[in-house]
Amino acid sequence: MENNHSIWQKDREQIREFRTLDKQIEVDVCVIGGGITGLSTAYYLSKEGKKVAVLEKDKICSKTSGGTTGKITSQHHLFYKYLIDSQNKEFAKKYWKANENAIENIENIIKTEKIDCDFKRKSAFVFTKDLGKLQGIQEEVQAAKSLGIPAKFSNEIEVLGKVEGAIEFPKQAQFNPVKYVTGLAKCVLENGGEIYENTKVVEYQKDGEGFVVTAEADGSSRKITAKYVVVATRYPIFNAPGFYFIKMYQELEYGIAIKTDRSLNGMYVSSEVPTISFREYACGEERYVLIVGNGHKTGEKTENNGFEVLENFAKTYFPEAPIVYRWNAEDAIGLDKIPYIGQYSEVRENMYVATGFKKWGMTTSNVAANLITDKIMGRKNPYEEIFDATRWEPIKNREEMKNMLKEVGESMIMPRLKGEKGKKYCAHLGCEVTWNEVTKTWDCPCHGSRYECDGSLIEGPSVHDLD
């Protein structure tokens, strides 16, 4: 069994490696982050004739983008009734259209650029086996239909058989995200862009209308001069002036892949907790089912083994299928559950951000790439208001805000007041990290930075190793 590597990483040795930044450079746009959002943005900007450089601290598509289920869908769990209730119907309809457009855009890129990434159109389902959750499914169907979404209700789905209820969104899609991002990277290079791996951005300075970004590579400091900066690091690495660390939290999810001869016609996710999401993946003659979920806030102590729920599901419905991959991945979630896309801050022109995708980044990454490209090119985007990254309304979510402040108090303030020794503190804002026995990592419960057992940084917002 492959541990700590998703099924998408199994062919990584065949993926082109990119050089480390070894000089000072000057570009139009500096994109920080080599996941699907960063490469999608670089793709569109390079096609517009902008000179773009992508900086990735590890390997492209090696973190969240490489640990996803690879679902491309506008069905973001049971979300449209929530949007209608918390915002309004016009807002909810725009959100749906933005993501439906993204599915079409991704398919067009794949066809135009001839990217072989196992793209397939399939229906997406949210289901429940709990009678107490049935009303939520029914209300979501009604909400979706009121927006013009061709949603359907059913009470039976493949593999599971009869369920209490399910909502279906037809004509959604799935693909191999690593193959897709690799294809985008090839296009960026062909369009004159630059991509650098093992190049970690640590800070930036304003320089007139532009910026000077500082990156560490091969033990040396490199300067990147750019008019525009795009922060596409999943969770923003710069605390000020955006202050995203008080508007978001991070969740850690677990994934397994089983090898099986069975095929699935759709993509599925449960409405109840712990969440179970599953889909098939065919690679040549080999066929797999990916099972992902059982998420929790990063750094939170949980009672069950992160993989146990997924493995029990596999044993129940695919009893003959061996588990061949196990991995984990992290994602950022805004307090109002809506992504932040656009200008980094009201006082920071020419700097842009895309974050808070709530585990639906395959589609939202394209929404973000188009919106940010339009902003840089001086065009009005029809969806920029609903994703406004400078909004502060999310902190009005009192319950989430209370939980966040409690975690910060328990992890950052109390250990220091007590003068406890032998504690380890995150290099981001100094919260006490917790040991995750399942992943063998040090995880920060405040803002989600994660570290190897020796203290070396895995993923941010921290840009430094563990104190």
Tell me: do 360 and 329 sit in the same domain: no
Question: Per-residue pLDDT averaged across 61-66, rounded?
Answer: 88
Check residue 283 and give its pLDDT: 85
State the total domains in the chain: 3
Q: 278 pLDDT exceeds 60?
A: yes
Q: Has residue 101 been placed in a domain?
A: no
Q: Say yes or no: 210 and 347 in one domain.
A: yes
Same domain, 319 and 353: no
Domain boundary pick from 285, 300, 334:
334
CATH code for position 368: 3.50.50.60
Tell me whether residue 110 is in a domain: no
pLDDT-derived band at 10 (thresholds 50, 70, 90) equals confident
If asked whether residues 253 and 131 sit together in one domain, one would say yes
* Least confident among 11-15, 211-215, 354-358: 11-15
**pLDDT the model gives residue 247:** 92
Please give the share of the chain, as a percent, with pLDDT higher than 90. 83
Question: What percent of the chain stands above pLDDT 70?
Answer: 92
Residue 467's pLDDT is 73
CA dihedral (110, 111, 112, 116) positive or negative: positive
Is residue 417 over pLDDT 80? no
Determine the average pLDDT of the residues in 92-118: 98
Q: Are residues 167 and 182 in the same domain?
A: no
**Greater confidence, 134 or 395?**
134
Answer yes or no: is 83 within a domain. no
For residue 193, give the nearest of 71, 44, 82 by alpha carbon: 44
Residue 386: per-residue pLDDT: 97
pLDDT tens per residue, range 223-256: 999 999 999 999 999 998 999 998 999 999 999 9
| Residue 262 in domain | yes
Name the burial class of residue 391, with classes exposed (0-12), middle (13-18) and buried (19+) by CB atoms within 10 angstroms of its CB.
Answer: middle
The amino acid sitting at 12 is: R
**Domain-embedded: residue 75:** no
Residue 412, pLDDT score: 56
The pLDDT of residue 153 is: 98
Q: Which residues pair with 435 in a beta bridge?
A: 442
Q: Note whether 167 and 259 are same-domain residues.
A: yes
- Maximum mean pLDDT: which of 11-25, 61-75, 131-145: 131-145
pLDDT of res. 183: 96
| Lowest-pLDDT choice from 61-65, 193-197, 236-240, 349-353 | 61-65
Task: Assess whether 258 and 344 both reside in one domain.
Answer: no
Going by pLDDT thresholds of 50, 70 and 90, the confidence category of residue 407 is low
pTM, two decimal places: 0.93
Asked which of 13-22, 290-299, 339-348, 402-411 is least confident by mean pLDDT, the reply is: 402-411
Note the pLDDT tens digit of each residue in 31-59.
999 999 999 999 999 999 999 999 999 99
Question: What mean pLDDT, rounded, does the chain reach?
Answer: 92
> pLDDT confidence of 405, banded at 50, 70, 90?
low
pLDDT tens for residues 132-168?
999 999 999 999 999 999 999 999 999 999 999 999 9
DSSP string computed for 132-171: GGHHHHHHHHHHHHHTT---EEEEEETTTEEEEEEEEEEE
Listed residues 395, 415, 430: the one ending a domain: 395
The span from the CA of 223 to the CA of 215, in Å, is: 6
pLDDT surpassing 90 at residue 393: no
Given a cut of 60, whether residue 330 has pLDDT beyond it is: yes
- What is the pLDDT, as a whole number, of residue 419? 53
User: Same domain, yes or no, for 282 and 242?
Assistant: no
Task: State residue 258's pLDDT score.
Answer: 97
pLDDT band at residue 374 under the 50/70/90 scheme: very high
Which pair of tokens denotes residue 325? Answer: 């991959």
Q: In the predicted model, is pLDDT for residue 409 greater than 70?
A: no
Mean pLDDT throughout 1-13?
Answer: 76
Letter string b/e over residues 37-65, b meaning 16 or more CB atoms within 10 A of that residue's CB: bbbbbbbbbbeeebbbbbbbbbbbbbbbb
Domain-terminating residue out of 286, 311, 334: 334
Q: 10 Å Cβ neighbour count for 159?
A: 14
- Identify the domain containing residue 364 by its residue range: 2-67+178-246+337-395
Q: State the pLDDT at residue 401.
A: 60
The pLDDT value given to residue 400: 62
Residues 256, 325 contacting (CB under 8 angstroms): yes
Q: Which structure tokens are listed for 399?
A: 């319950």
Report yes or no on 440 lying in a domain.
yes
**What is the pLDDT at residue 420?**
61
Q: Which residue has the tokens 């969104």?
A: 169
Q: Do both 63 and 10 map to the same domain? A: yes
**Residues 165, 210 within the same domain:** no
For residue 416, the one-letter residue type is R
Whether the per-residue pLDDT at 11 is higher than 80: the answer is no
Q: Is the pLDDT of residue 29 over 70?
A: yes
pLDDT higher than threshold 70 for residue 347: yes
Q: How confident is the model at residue 301 (pLDDT cuts 50, 70, 90)?
A: confident
In a domain, 94, yes or no: no
Can you give the pLDDT at residue 142?
A: 98
Domain membership of residue 62 (yes or no) is yes
Q: Are 168 and 256 within one domain?
A: yes
Q: Do both 164 and 252 map to the same domain?
A: yes
